[in-house]
A and B are shown apart, each in its own frame.
Chain A
Amino acid sequence: MTLNPALPLPAAARTAAARTARRRAALEWVAVHSLAIAAALFFLLPFVFVLLTSVMSDRQALTSELWPTSWHWGNYAQVWRTPGFLTWWRNSLLYAGLGTLLTVVSSLPVAYALAKFRFRGRRLALMAVVSMMMLPPQVTVIPMYLFWAKQLHLTGSLWPLVVPMAFGDAFSIFLLRQFLLTVPNEYLEAARIDGCGDVRTLLRVVLPMARPAIAAVALFQFFYCWNDYFGPQIYASENPGAWTLSYGLESFKGAHHTDWNLTMAATLLVMAPVIILFFFAQKAFIEGVTLTGVKG
């Protein structure tokens, strides 16, 4: 640890103290990094085992051997060719892509108003947003299902999953608002003095500044849709043509009853887009997580 340089110490004591401090620092370095490596094994080994199993032969996947005796990369092609897999992939992309776009477009103006407009009931509106963020989807699902099934006859399709995204998402509104609070009001006033209306201020001044927060919200929403299991189970389960990867994956295990190798290859193919996207947009993502927890 650091020594306080203001402390007057005799020269001999100083070198002795410096030596102990150095030794202590080295010891701490070793302890911390051993722990970190142990933790990294806990977090990464599951991926490694899944990957190793995904390239085993059918027969070896039924044993408890850990290392593949021969490498069957063709398992991935076989998963890809499984009936339905490509359709589910397309459906997931549609749900996640459209859902993300609609969420951002509909949530930004709401977040802007909640962060920057003064109006009666603002606090109440905000509390409603936070409450809805915390609401389990199961609470409202039965009337929603009946509405989509009986009134609109649109279950068994992606519509009930995508359309609600056009009406603002509580978590995205909350996160964007937390970010917009940090935008100085002077910018908005300057824009108004220059003759910008509200819409123009939002599009020309706020939008460019809020890009990191929008990126974070977009990523979160993409992952939410990609990972969603409950929604597709409720609204799409009756029609395999409308399943998403998240929902189809378990039935894959059913179709290939004992084939852990193919199941694990499919599992990795479902994880892949999320993890690839993360590596491209790591910073935005971590900023988003921090924004929810700490600036709150």
Chain B
Amino acid sequence: MALLDTSRPAALRRKRRRETGRTLAFLSPWLIGFGLFFAYPLISTVYFSFMKYDGFTAPTFNGLKNWTYLFQHYPFFWQGLRNTLWLVVVMVTLRVAFGLGVGVLITKVKTGAGLFRTAFYLPYLAPPVAATMAFAFLLNPGTGPVNHLLGELGLPQPGWFTDPDWSKPALTLLAMWGVGDLMVIFMAALLDVPKEQYEAAELDGAGPWQRFRFVTLPNITPIVLFAVVTGVIQTMQYYTQAIVAGKVASGVIGGSGQQFEPGYPHGSTWTLPQMVYNLGFQRFDTGTACAAALVLFAISTAFTALLLRRGAGLVED
């Protein structure tokens, strides 16, 4: 057996080399992909962020001008950052809280649990564009069913996607509708909480809220943290729903030469990823777009680092 020869240095070296070879072979699709689709474009983005470049004529060195323009003179940078921050705080909090609530509810359902679970999960599957189109219709202030029902109940009828004060809450509602992924994750975590702890708490006279507070929550804290951090990272990338809602609500889909007003209404749905698209592909200011992309990169990397530290289990064996 070759295994017995490993005491001899030459054989050991040969074995090592063979193992390195097969490791590289197995990893090769990813290694090439990492270089082509991550390392190379990232370095280029840094390079272009110091260049004056419109995507057509040759780039020229521009120093820090793109950066100072982005932070000091570009009128929409801070607005985009504020909107993104609003979504991160409100949307992520409500989605995690609601997901946990629905998760707890589904573990308590005794009759028709499978049916309820499917019903709660289904909206998560709806393609984002389709879901946003559906909500743009449902929340349409004039003829939408939601305001129709609110009117019947004598409640106020917000302008939703057409009102700058209500567009982000409308997007939040859409995000909460698609909470099925969190429900499943929480459900699995909740079923793993040891039954004995509940029985012990009950013998100690703990009511339902106390059992949730002192038994359930401590047991699922890692999963809640995971949901919060991944939620923040996802919200940093928030794009499709915001742009489609703005397009449909403003009635400008493009095609007829009309330029869609990004972040409609009044920049209220304008986010960092849209900034990259708008600067790079609509205003052809490639340099500033790359600077904006790097801001997005810096913030997402910070949160990913947090996730890797908090959820060290992600990369353990």
Contacts and interface: CB of A to CB of B under 8 A. Distances in A.
A190 interface: no
Interface string B122-151: 110111111001110110101111011000
Given A46-B134, A143-B44, A296-B226, A138 B276 contact: yes
Interface stretch (B69-77, B87-95, B161-169, B287-295): B287-295
Contact of A168 (B29, B199, B223): B29
Interface in A254-286: 254-255, 257, 260, 263-264, 267-268, 270-271, 274-275, 278, 282, 286
B120 to A, nearest CB: 5
Interface stretch (B6-14, B19-27, B60-68, B262-270): B19-27
Interface of A is mostly: helix
Contacts of B23: 113, 117, 119
B34 interface: yes
Nearest to A234: B281
Interface string A58-89: 00001110100000000000000000000000
B264 to A, nearest CB: 13
A296 B109 CA distance: 27
B239 A134 contact: no
A26 to B, nearest CB: 11
Given A29-B110, A40-B116, A129 B307 contact: no
Given A143-B41, A143-B45, A250-B248, A293 B122 contact: no
Given A132-B38, A134-B233, A110 B129 contact: no
Contact of A142 (B37, B45, B134): B45
A46 B233 contact: no
A139 B300 contact: yes
Contact of B199 (A4, A132, A257, A282): A4
Nearest to B43: A143
B315 interface: yes
B156 interface: no
A110 B293 contact: no
A263 B133 contact: yes
B75 to A, nearest CB: 20
B30 to A, nearest CB: 4
Contact of A289 (B37, B41, B181, B280): B181
A123 interface: yes
A144 interface: yes
B105 A141 contact: no
A15 interface: no
B158 interface: no
Contact of B185 (A167, A254, A289): A289
Interface in A149-164: 164
Given A106-B29, A253-B248, A275-B122, A134 B138 contact: no
A126 interface: yes
B197 to A, nearest CB: 14
Contact of A138 (B119, B135, B239): B239
Contacts of A43: 119-120, 122-123, 177
B127 A226 contact: yes
Interface in B242-269: 243-244, 247-248, 251, 253-256
11 contacts: A2-B199, A64-B142, A110-B29, A136-B237, A142-B45, A143-B48, A146-B55, A226-B127, A250-B133, A251-B255, A271-B126
Closest 9 CB pairs of A and B: A167-B33, A254-B253, A293-B185, A143-B44, A140-B41, A113-B26, A106-B29, A143-B41, A168-B30
Interface of B: 19-20, 22-23, 25-27, 29-30, 32-34, 36-38, 40-42, 44-45, 48, 55, 102, 105-106, 108-111, 116, 118-123, 125-130, 133-135, 137-138, 140, 142-145, 147-148, 177, 181, 184-185, 188-189, 192, 199, 202-203, 223, 226-227, 230, 233, 236-237, 239-240, 243-244, 247-248, 251, 253-256, 272-273, 276-277, 280-281, 286, 289-290, 293-294, 296-297, 300-301, 303-304, 307-308, 311, 313-315, 317
Given A35-B105, A125-B30, 10 more contacts: A32-B110, A36-B106, A62-B143, A107-B29, A119-B20, A142-B41, A142-B293, A246-B129, A257-B251, A294-B192
